[in-house]
Structure 1
Amino acid sequence: MKSLGSIRRDFAPWLDRGAAPFIRFEGVTKRFGDFEAVDDLSLDVFEKEFFALLGGSGCGKSTLLRMLAGFETPTKGRIVLDGEDLSGIPPYRRPVNMMFQSYALFPHMSVEKNIAFGLRQEGMARSEIADRVGQVLKLVKLEDYARRKPDQLSGGQRQRVALARSLAKRPKVLLLDEPLGALDKKLREETQFELADLQHQLGITFIMVTHDQEEAMTLADRIAVMDRGRIMQVATPAEIYEAPNSRFVADFVGNVNLFEGTVRSVEGDRAVIETDAGLTIAVVSEAKLGTSQKVSYVLRPEKLKIAADPIPGPNAMAGEVWDIAYFGPVTAFHVRLDNGATVKVSMVNATRQGALQLTWHDRAFVQFDEDAGLVLTQ
């Protein structure tokens, strides 16, 4: 499949068969008693990549990060960083640094002393420490806050101090555990772009753990979606969203209409699917399909059209507006079709009057093109 969506076109080493991974998890398993947090997992991360581990609570993503940092030891398998097996190497000897969700700043120390703490522990000369602290303060735009204490800073500023402290030791890999979780929504959105720009500027490999899909999609070059200690899919954000490889990934990432059904006819790359919800839909599919095959059809809400009058084209349906949610940029509709099935539709509010003047219980018509969705066979 060709690459989907916007990526740094000059940076896609995973597409180069000759590129050597910078970090390799090779058959890694981690058990806590009878509980298997990570299950025979293999994964490659490339140098200078911003990589995200995305999943729900208990999926194993934080355990994977902690094993790379050296805070946990794999039960089986090995982790290789820049050609070196990390087995037996303690955390303080590994060329990685970890930024925690809580930031863990020392409240009695100034910003500059917080940043310098790790460098002093390593015995670096005072003049070198001063230079290094000045460099990272400039990098995160906090030069004017060097003498302040953490309680004199905003949440976003404290996040930058924690980031500066992590970068001061110039690690080969920076590990971020829910790095923006403590920020409010608006500040989190602003900081996401700053963090991505900073990573690209520094060229340091970042690995982030998050349960926030939007955060992973905004920041990462690639995302690994995890479930119950296993990797379900590794791909760019656009490929994860537009071309999920399974029902789980399709349902987990973003909002979706997911229909189970049976293929009734196939002609070339076109097929007709009868869904369990009673809909008959015409689709175009890259997958090789056979008559009577059980499949799932994935249709994102923004791929559907909605109107107060019938819409010409394939897969045209009618129903009643059952629910509406106004989010500002978009309005989400739940439409109960005449056969009793419900579909989700979202429309951009391109004018001040909103996307469409429909309200609860109005008659509504929806339609989607044959290539609007994705047929999944697993």
Structure 2
Amino acid sequence: MKAQSLGSIRKSFAPWADPTQQPYIEFDAVTKDFGNFTAVDDLTLSIYRREFFALLGASGCGKSTLLRMLAGFETPTKGRIVLDGEDLTGTPPYRRPVNMMFQSYALFPHMSVENNIAFGLKQEGMGKGERADRIAEVLKLVKLEPYAARKPHQLSGGQRQRVALARSLAKRPKVLLLDEPLGALDKKLREETQFELTDLQYELGMTFIVVTHDQEEAMTMADRIAIMEKGQIVQLAAPPEVYEAPASRFVADFVGSVNLFEGKVVRKDAARIVLEAPGGGEMVVDSTAPAEIGETAWYAVRPEKLRISAEPIEGANVLSGEVWEIAYFGDMTSFHIRLDNGQIVRVSMINRHRFSPLQLTWHDRAHVAFDADAGLLLNR
């Protein structure tokens, strides 16, 4: 039988699954307090060499504090941080083999692109010849060779972002830290830059750690994602697992859009569980989750896994209601269906044809359905 994998892509790079591999970066029981507020709470995490790692979470969850502790800008209240076998306790930022690229880019406005990149190298005392070679190398890497003499105000937002990236890479750090690196870019440029960063990281073979609150950004670029809440990691996994197999309702709701159908367990066998359906009836779902009869559980189904019809649908797992909202995005249409019990269900439909075959508008009666294996049963 052919092995199945979550999502559409199976990556061969997975050192965390190999017990012979040693972590490159280790956060060992790290806590960071700011007065009475705990930003990072007894967190343990391993990151591997050549990994593109994402810290994902809402504002205030502790992800930037974690990054700043690795960079040396903050000191852990408890615990230790190890990089390539070296305990970083007491090591000042300028002696750590890491470099951080900030959202603001922090370029010197009076300096040319070339001199912005050269600044850190001069501070280290690198010779003029070697410095010129290094600058030429990174300019070529980020495709900015024709812009070496320009000032930051003469560049586009995407070009300024590349200058900041080139400056961070020029010192050849062991780890590149990116704190919301694409937040200042427009949507289209941000999407293009995500792929460029991924390609660059692969080409360099360097370890990248990115902090972001943008789920699509993390899903596009990262080998693994750590989802943080209240200073702790609530799930650590590859992007397909985070999306298709969230560890909790919080993760399911935070990453993308999801429908959570709550109900008590009515019946179960080795492979299926039957729940009360919203508004009456039953939902039949494929699951081996440890749910007991009478226990409340939630079935999480992504909007794209649902089918919608103006006509009644035969079979199990069918819900009906009124079209409440419609949003047309060009490539897809999103329907919000208000069920008879008041719950709003989101359905996404890919627009495969120029003219929609589905004749539904506001306040029409609509029917939605999903397969027994379309989602995941959650009991927390």
Maintained 8 Å contact 2:32/2:38 = yes
C-alpha distance after superposition, 1:45-72 (max 9, x if no partner): 0000000000001000000000000000
Gaps (5+ residues) in structure 2? Answer: none
Q: State the secondary structure of the residue aligned to 2:252.
A: helix
Partner SS, residue 123 of structure 1 = coil
Structure 1: which amino acid aligns with 2:268?
A: V
Describe how 1:40-55 pairs up with structure 2 within 5 A.
40-55=42-57
Shift of 1:294: 1.9
The aligned amino acid for 1:377 is: N
**In 1, distance between residues paired with 2:276 and 2:215?**
31
Match of 1:335 among 337, 344, 351: 337
Residue 370 of structure 1 aligns to a residue in which SS? coil
Amino acid at match of 1:280: E
SS of residue paired to 1:88: coil
1:241 aligned partner: 243
Mapped partners of 2:372, 2:347: distance in 1:
16
Secondary structure, aligned partner of 1:231: strand
**Partner in structure 2 of residue 96 of structure 1:** 98
Percent identity, please. 71
Q: Deviations over 1:100-127 (max 9, x none)?
A: 0000000000001100110000000000
Cα deviation code 1:174-203 (max 9, x no counterpart): 000000000011110111111111011101
2:248 maps to a residue whose letter is S
Determine the C-alpha separation between the residues in 1 that align with 2:25 and 2:279: 45
- Of the three residues 132, 136, 139, the one matched with 1:137 is 139
CA–CA distance in structure 2, aligned partners of residues 133 and 45 of structure 1: 29
2:278–2:341: 8 Å Cα contact kept in structure 1?
A: no
Give yes or no for contact 1:278–1:339 (8 Å, CA) kept in 2: no
Q: Which residue of 1 aligns with 2:152?
A: 150
Counterpart residue number, 1:376: 378
Q: Is the 8 A contact 2:279 2:340 kept in 1?
A: no
Rounded to whole Å, the distance in 2 between the matches of 1:20 and 1:125 is 36
Query: What stretches of structure 1 of length at least 5 have no aligned partner?
Result: none
- For residues 259 and 277 of structure 2, the distance between their equivalents in structure 1, rounded to whole angstroms, comes to 12
Aligned residues: 378
Per-residue CA deviations over 1:198-255 (Å, capped at 9, x if unaligned) read: 0111011000000111111111111000001000000011100000011110111110
For residue 279 of structure 1, report the CA deviation from its aligned partner. 5.5
- Aligned residue number for residue 85 of structure 2: 83
- Structure 1, 354-363 or 67-76: larger mean CA deviation: 354-363
Cα RMSD, aligned residues only: 1.5
Contact 1:349 1:355 in 2 (8 A): no
Partner of 1:127: 129
Find runs of 4+ consecutive structure 1 residues off by over 4 angstroms: 275-279
Find the counterpart in structure 1 of residue 263 from structure 2.
Answer: 261
SS in structure 1 at match of 2:290: coil
Q: Deviations over 1:9-45 (max 9, x none)?
A: 3311111122111000010000000100000000110
- Is structure 2 residue 211 aligned with structure 1 residue 209? yes
DSSP 3-state at the match of 2:22: coil
